[in-house]
Amino acid sequence: MSFKGEHPIWSKGAQLQWLEGLSVEDLKSWLRKLVWTQDSHPLVPPSQSISITYFADVIGRGTSALTCKVREVVPSLLQEWGRNDPMQCLDDLLVLSALLRCAAAEATIAIIASERITGTAEEVELKKRCLSVLSGFGCSEHSAPLFYRHLEDINYSAYCFRALYRYKLSYAVATLPTVVAIHKAADKLQALKGVLTLLFFDYLNLRQRIALWRDIIDHTEPMQLEEMLRTLQSLGIVLSVNRHASQEIEVIYDYSVVEPKKAGEKVQIYDFQVTSLAAINRALEAFLTSSNRIAQAVGASP
Amino acid sequence: MITFEDWLSALTSSQEGRIVWANYQYDLKKHNLESSVYDDFKSAVEKRLADSSPPVQLFDAIVNGEPDKFDLKCSRRLLRTEAYSRVIEVTDFAIYNLRLEELGLELDEEIGRRVWDKLGVTITSYYHGGTMKTRRNFFWCLPTHRLDLIHATTSPAQEASVVRNKLGLYHIDKNQRLLRIDIPPDVLSGKRVCAPTSLDAGINIVFAPCDDTRGVGWALDLETLSKSVEELIIEALTFTADYTVVKIGIVSEVVPTLNMNTLEANAVGR
């Protein structure tokens, strides 16, 4: 009678030591077993934990040699994943890539996102994960076209927008109207508020924010700009100046046919345009009465 | 030919195996598990003996591989339900319970810290999503009042370490961030809530089954290795904006050293 294998290893320190001792090939075999069959033997993850994030944490505490080995192995495991394999395997590999910054997997993940997963609900979730991991590596000249291509899909728009503006802030100027329009059309304004709060109030400082607004105003079509500003105003991202402060004015001329007022009566004016008109009238009155010469010139009675 | 007894002998040749087996025997002795569960388990082991897999690995593979037979099987009835909370590390929460795609927040090694900083500010309950579970189709929790009590009696700097120790979360290290998720009572309607058995715990040395008449389980305190606070497991739940998420704090102390001999003596003598 014989049972192969080692005694279980449950402490993080001992697990790390065991992992450090593996060759690249053995590490690859162990990770493959972990991802494809949930078998981490001889390492034992705690029952309250999620095994992939738990082992990412263990590996992340190791030497740079161990991290390098993992970064070498994970991209090739990603290449092994096929459409007939469980989706959970790919998700685990993507999480591992992100938490251990396996940037060498960038090209493989980009290919998976654009060619190997298509459109079922489960695959949409996986594509989101792909884009979030690629964005975590930092958008590059290789991944920028992928992000740009998915910008107008509401499922991925926020990931793509953030990845692009973190790569080059000028992308924020070019893509903001599209992102606002996409979210508005999909009735995702609350999500848009979060996306824009991250950009304007988390990522940018005051000086950068003002510079960005200047560029947005300069480079956006007026109609589109106004439409966008109205949306952002409704979300509290931009605030309107309070033009409608109530003020009390004296009626001089009454143009109203609905509720005629007597000259000298005090009324509350709430509407900016009416207030402005009243102010102009008042100025004109003052002008006409104080300058007989010009008043005559414009035909007024002396 | 390899027999079940051979397998058992190999399992109990390691200290971890002896703890796991003692806990399982306790559950059977106290009728926390029906005899049919024992029959199913034995039969599952016998079917796979030819694999010659390491015994602990086989134990794990069996309880993980057949959730209908081995998950949430405690036969001790919970006398009354109350308000429950889950304690979760922020990186797990960020990856599996937030709709990061709606924010566009990238996934990298800093995701836990980033979510921690924005939680309650930019990240609100609107972004809750996914399922409350571990890799198995349930999650661990405790009565909310226990966390309230720890909160009321512990300094903010110590709170996360105390929660970690009281709940026996030996995998949570210094500097990891803990969150508390309060579960709305109405979502538990029709869901299985019970004490964890040794089969739910799997290969977990910091676990003790119990025969509490109220039907609850008890977590082991990492400092004393004795019973500390009630613990239960709940069938997976959809995580929505109705749940409340609160920061407990950042763990400030290293994990206490666990004495395996004490753990084994307690398990065998229980």
Q: A78, A108 in Cβ contact below 8 A?
A: yes
d(CA A7, CA B19): 13
d(CA A230, CA A181): 12
**How many pairs of residues across A and B have Cβ atoms under 8 Å apart?**
161
Decide which of A96 and A270 is more confident: A96
B92 and A49 within 8 Å at the Cβ level: the answer is yes
Q: What is the pLDDT along chain B (270 residues), one digit of tens a residue?
A: 789 999 999 999 999 999 999 999 999 999 999 999 999 999 999 999 887 788 988 999 999 989 999 999 999 999 999 999 999 999 999 999 999 999 999 999 999 999 999 999 999 999 999 999 998 999 999 999 999 999 999 999 999 999 999 999 999 999 999 999 999 999 999 999 999 999 999 999 999 999 999 999 999 999 999 999 999 999 999 999 999 999 999 999 999 999 999 999 999 998
pLDDT for A293 equals 45
d(CA B32, CA B20): 15
Angle ∠(A269,A275,A276) on CA atoms, nearest 5: 175
Query: Tokens 């994030």 sit at which residue?
Result: A53
Give how far B153 is from chain A: nearest CA, Å: 25
B14 contacts in chain A (CB < 8 Å): 7-8
Which of A1, A12, A41 has its CB closest to that of B6?
Answer: A1
Q: B32, B197 in Cβ contact below 8 A?
A: yes
d(CA B17, CA B27): 15
Residues of A (192-221) whose Cβ lies below 8 Å from B: 194-195, 197-198, 202
Task: Tell whether A85 lies on the interface with B, counting CB pairs under 8 A.
Answer: no
pTM value > 0.90? no
A160 contacts in chain B (CB < 8 Å): 104
A16 contacts in chain B (CB < 8 Å): none
Give how far B5 is from chain A: nearest CA, Å: 11
B140 contacts in chain A (CB < 8 Å): 47-48
d(CA B192, CA B138): 9
B54 and A101 within 8 Å at the Cβ level: the answer is no
Residues of A (31-60) whose Cβ lies below 8 Å from B: 38-39, 41-42, 44-51, 53-54, 57, 60
A164 contacts in chain B (CB < 8 Å): none
Which of A49, A158, A161 has its CB closest to that of B171?
Answer: A49
Q: A259, A274 in Cβ contact below 8 A?
A: no
ipTM: 0.95
Q: How confident is the model at residue A301 (pLDDT cuts 50, 70, 90)?
A: very low
B173 and A95 within 8 Å at the Cβ level: the answer is no
Residues of A (216-275) whose Cβ lies below 8 Å from B: none
Identity of the amino acid at A210: I
Predicted confidence (pLDDT) per residue in A141-154, tens digit: 989 999 999 999 99
Which of B4, B11, B56 should be substituted to probe chain A, the one whose Cβ sees the most A Cβ atoms within 10 Å? B56
Predicted confidence (pLDDT) per residue in A44-81, tens digit: 999 999 999 999 999 999 999 999 999 999 999 999 99
